[in-house]
Amino acid sequence: MHDGEKIAHIPKESWPSWTWYAIEFGIVLAASMLISREVTNYFTELTPEVQNYVFMGTVGLIFLAWYIGIRGFILKKKILRNSY
What is the C-alpha separation between 80 and 10, in angstroms, rounded?
Answer: 24
Within a domain: 3:
no
pLDDT tens for each residue of 33-48: 999 999 998 988 999 9
What is the C-alpha separation between 5 and 2, in angstroms, rounded?
Answer: 5
**Measuring CA to CA, which residue among 18, 57, 55 is closest to residue 38?**
55
pLDDT at 84 over 50: no
pLDDT at 73 over 90: no
pLDDT tens for each residue of 14-33: 677 778 888 989 999 999 99
Within a domain: 81:
no
This prediction's pTM: 0.69
Within a domain: 6:
no
Q: Which domain holds residue 36?
A: 17-74
Within a domain: 47:
yes
Q: How many domains does the chain have?
A: 1
